[in-house]
Every structure is written in C-alpha cells, then in structure tokens.
Amino acid sequence: MDFIQNYPSQTPLVMLNILKFKERTEDDQETGEEAYNRYALNVAPLLAMVGGKVLWAGNVQRTLIGDLEISPDRILAVYYPSKEAFVEMATSDAYAKIGGDREKALTYGGLLVTETMDFISNPK
C-alpha cells in the first residue's frame, strides 16, 4: 500500500472520512447510520489506545456546490499521531471484531489521508 510505504514515518496525520450510509443493512435489521454509530462507539476506545481522537464530526445537511445525487451523509476528521498508530489500530484483533460494522453501514466510505499545513504563514 502506497500510504504505508510512502507517508513519512512518525508524522501526525488527519484522516478525513466521507461517509454515505446505506438506507438499510443487507440483513434489514437496522439503518446504515445505526450500524455506523455502533461501529463509532466500539472503535473509540481502540482509537484512544493508539493516541488518536475524533477532531470533528458532522452530519451533512445539504450540498451547495457539487453532485447532489452522491452527497455524503457524514464527515469526520480523525487525528492519528502517526501512520504506525493507524496501522496498529486497523490491523488489531479488536478492530477485526468490529470493522465489519463500518462496511455493513456504508455505500461509500472514503478515507483521505491529510497532512496538516499552515497555509496562512506558508502558502504553497
């Protein structure tokens, strides 16, 4: 995976999660949002164990500019102290037990790796 090989080691990052929920899960037992909310509650302690935290989360109310057909339902910004911390969490046995709820919940689950920049004092 390019991210693991090429993202700088021991460098903080923020994962931007762009989420589109299924109306109903395949087993029709709950909504995608309900399944994702369960996943979020279960992943929180794993995130904390590797030094990560949710910086911001919000439900999308409307799209002003862009494709209205594929507008996401929720966006989250999640901090990790390093790619190593993210990989440790995402490959843990504990995560393997709960990670299926994320997949079960989403029609789209984009995960963008971002590096913090100071665009005011150092625009590029």
**Per-residue model confidence as pLDDT tens digits over 53-70:** 999 999 999 988 888 778
> 91 phi and psi, to 5 degrees?
-105, 10
The pLDDT value recorded for residue 119 is: 63
> 29 phi and psi, to 5 degrees?
-90, -20
Q: Parallel, antiparallel, or unpaired: how do β-strands 13-21 and 106-114 relate?
A: antiparallel
Q: What's the CATH number for 9-114?
A: 3.30.70.100
- Range with the lowest mean pLDDT among 5-14, 43-52, 76-85, 106-115? 5-14
Percent of the chain with pLDDT over 90: 77
Residue 33 CB-density burial (10 A; 0-12 exposed, 13-18 middle, 19+ buried): middle
**Among 83, 25, 24, which Cα is nearest to 50's?**
83
**Among 120, 115, 97, which Cα is nearest to 39's?**
97
What is the mean pLDDT of the segment spanning 18-30?
95
pTM: 0.88
